[in-house]
Structure 1
């Protein structure tokens, strides 16, 4: 019995061979397996999508990709072999990747919805509100999502700038992202020979005397390298909503973002949401509309990106998703500083040089150059709540023959404005100027009453009423107890126009 239970020599040999075969494979956390293949097989195999994007250097100050890889990117080893990985997203095709110093993973074609609303108000130029974190572009093609607007290199910035001179806007961003491939640099990386030689030429420390040499190195290699990159596709919708017109229609910023998320997700929209997206049934009689959007598609075959219940294009949408497997684009990446690649001897000098370069105000391209704060940074500061309202300025220019006391002279006059009840005193005399500002409805009645005010009794002297109307009017009120002369001027509240202040008026610089 014991001889039957003990392992036989040929079984042990078989187990050793299986173990050796497993050692030749490179499993990853996503279940991707890579094999070592010979030269002819390597030459015949296609490259894995995005294999050359990881490890590339870039300048985080100028948003420039340097098109240089400080990390060795050789496909072939010294033994003229390479790693071929099984891409299950493309029919289990074997594709070559940069050697064992890099890892690769594949993901299911699942899209995630994103949106972000930032209630910390930042005003751009004339006071447009950024209600979300938008994106910043690095170089010509490389983009990073969920970063603040970073200047003229950003599609988001250009979109906001194009609308900004037209009116006060609230901007929001909503996107659906598909992550398919991920490449990363492992801790066993090998540096490029040219990069290593240039690092050796750098001075031991960074100071004013060695600044130029370090700056020349940074001009060539940048400040950071791409440590991990995610490839796939993205549908991104940038929306601009007229801030004050939204206020007049009782539409909040959260409502705007919610409608866009529903529309981007192919959900069935309520009629109110549909009206909003089509600029229908809006108060304010403004033909240019409340809402404008721009959809941008990254990765895959060309496609309009018009996905919503208003634009049902499910066929185009699914075809575009499938094409991402063949033509992915960068949707996210993680960067690390270049000084993390070098040894301790060179690290401190390069770290000081990069930090000084990033802080240099003569080089940094900052969005703050384009951002100004205005008092009109929220609905309540500049936007009317209702149509038909205006500012009424009432000026009492002159009062004379105002007698209320029989036994003594009139001590003073109290004026009562029957819109918002408030009492204001003015001394007795032939000329007394009294200026009052009131927020009123167009067509509302204004009544001005003047009283003789004593310490024990206030006697009504004059009372006259007028209907408020746009423009200026001269007012005269008289009876046997005196006369007063006044003017009233009615102007629409900001963003309102027309004879009745019922029309929306966009902000103009």
Structure 2
């Protein structure tokens, strides 16, 4: 059995409202806070997808003006009596809530922007992505995209145990209040730095609602062209990597190499796919697992730890500017956030390329159809003062062989400064090319000779000067 056995088990049980009552000050002081009580009201940056670890909402005050609080029993912790912050109006739990899904990856947070009313259409319509452009996931995608053609997908496994919701008018923390008091009333070039400091400290939004527990999120990058050379498309690679309860004996032969991340076509050392993994909540597990052996102990221990050490699994955000009581400052903070998004916007990724099929060895998706094939081009640059023919001008040509196989017929009417020959898409893997510059009339005169060993993934460009100023340009693409 594989570790993924648990992951693809979808168990959904409706949330249950906890049994709560009003407690006296003595009871409230003695009771611990409910798990995850401080995960709401925290600042969040939608550009970096970073939790700021600083609260804009007060989640430490639990006593009301009448010196009472809300106490709830927690069935997931032996019905322990736990208190809630005054700013939390709802706290619920799930006995079992495990969800797994595999989706294409696209950086698209426009729905978030529309929900919170930020005016980002001016640069969204300009073909720009504004959100998450400084996140670790975005950096991973950008780096892979610079290296090769990739297809991206997200495999996410989430286990929720609790849910918390803030009131519509939650109290602000004292530090955040003081920071707002120091803000200018208007946003312009001279005050931009003050507002940017606020954003750098508290983010652009805050958590109003959170579901907490644990989550594994794996961003999978699959090499599109390398998958094609191995007889698969990128979607098949992604689907194979996301297999659930399987035994290796039942997996198709074409998928075994994918599961082992082996590239049989070119022996590329980095394999067919790479991943970026994030684990939230719990402890004792870094998100690593084995496909070929049962090493689920760390994973199971991680699951058990989520009830007492939960983290944010899903959330609902509200913009920071809504918390500003002063109307002039509110408009200024909103303008500052919009400018911050615009400053960090990047051009959207171009559409998938399409090739018309006119180029040999190139498929319609612009990927090579065969590995280790290339174009061999040899150009004579010049040849003069060649000896060997006493009756007329010396005739010269190049005799070329790849792996001892003749790939060019001698031509005594060679035109200088023009391609001598182009041998397109010959398989040159582990081969060598031999070039001889010859004169032929009655006898052969060897002007020069060399051997170049061909390797994969290499562009060979060589200039060879033979005797009597015979110059060759050799360009080999393998």
TM exceeding 0.5: yes
**How far, CA to CA, are the matches of 1:66 and 1:53 in structure 2?**
9
Of the three residues 133, 156, 174, the one matched with 1:150 is 133
Q: Does 2:304 correspond to 1:322? A: yes
Q: Does 2:339 correspond to 1:356? A: yes
Equivalent residue number for residue 268 of structure 1: 247
Q: Does 2:376 correspond to 1:392? A: yes
**How far, CA to CA, are the matches of 1:433 and 1:255 in structure 2?**
48
Equivalent residue number for residue 265 of structure 2: 283
Matches within 5 A, 1:272-311: 272=253, 273-279=255-261, 282-286=264-268, 289-293=271-275, 296-303=278-285, 305-307=287-289, 309-311=291-293
Of the three residues 84, 99, 103, the one matched with 2:86 is 99
**Secondary structure class of the residue paired with 1:67:** strand
Of the three residues 73, 84, 87, the one matched with 1:86 is 73
**How far, CA to CA, are the matches of 1:216 and 1:433 in structure 2?**
63
Equivalent residue number for residue 445 of structure 2: none
Greater mean alpha carbon deviation, residues 306-315 or residues 175-184: 306-315
Equivalent residue number for residue 31 of structure 2: 45
| Aligned-pair CA distance for 1:332 | 2.6
**How far, CA to CA, are the matches of 2:269 and 2:320 in structure 1?**
53
Equivalent residue number for residue 189 of structure 1: 170
Change (3 A) 1:496 1:109: farther
**How far, CA to CA, are the matches of 1:384 and 1:210 in structure 2?**
54
Cα shift readout 1:159-218 (whole Å, capped 9, x = no counterpart): 975x78987665543221112222222224233455456545655443456556545655
**How far, CA to CA, are the matches of 2:94 and 2:323 in structure 1?**
29
Change (3 A) 1:471 1:148: farther
Q: What TM-score results when the alignment is normalised by the length of structure 1?
A: 0.60
**Secondary structure class of the residue paired with 1:76:** coil
Of the three residues 92, 103, 107, the one matched with 1:116 is 103
Matches within 5 A, 1:15-34: 30-34=16-20
Whether the aligned pair in 2 keeps the contact of 1:175 and 1:234 (CA below 8 Å) is yes
**How far, CA to CA, are the matches of 1:281 and 1:193 in structure 2?**
57
**How far, CA to CA, are the matches of 1:344 and 1:203 in structure 2?**
11
**How far, CA to CA, are the matches of 2:179 and 2:286 in structure 1?**
46
Equivalent residue number for residue 65 of structure 1: 52
**How far, CA to CA, are the matches of 2:271 and 2:245 in structure 1?**
23
**Secondary structure class of the residue paired with 1:227:** strand
Q: Does 2:318 correspond to 1:336? A: yes
Equivalent residue number for residue 459 of structure 1: none
Equivalent residue number for residue 251 of structure 1: 232
Gaps of 5+ in 1: 1-27, 119-131, 136-146, 399-428, 444-468, 480-486, 499-506
Gaps of 5+ in 2: 1-13, 110-129, 356-361, 383-412, 442-448, 461-476
**Secondary structure class of the residue paired with 2:21:** strand
Whether the aligned pair in 1 keeps the contact of 2:241 and 2:258 (CA below 8 Å) is no
Equivalent residue number for residue 22 of structure 2: 36
Give the total of aligned pairs.
Answer: 381
Change (3 A) 1:304 1:340: closer
Whether the aligned pair in 2 keeps the contact of 1:101 and 1:190 (CA below 8 Å) is no
Cα shift readout 1:398-448 (whole Å, capped 9, x = no counterpart): 9xxxxxxxxxxxxxxxxxxxxxxxxxxxxxx884765364523348xxxxx
Whether the aligned pair in 2 keeps the contact of 1:179 and 1:231 (CA below 8 Å) is yes
Whether the aligned pair in 1 keeps the contact of 2:137 and 2:219 (CA below 8 Å) is no
**Secondary structure class of the residue paired with 1:267:** coil
Whether the aligned pair in 2 keeps the contact of 1:182 and 1:229 (CA below 8 Å) is yes
Whether the aligned pair in 1 keeps the contact of 2:42 and 2:56 (CA below 8 Å) is yes
Greater mean alpha carbon deviation, residues 347-356 or residues 176-185: 347-356
Q: Does 2:433 correspond to 1:471? A: yes
| Aligned-pair CA distance for 1:330 | 1.8
Whether the aligned pair in 1 keeps the contact of 2:160 and 2:214 (CA below 8 Å) is yes
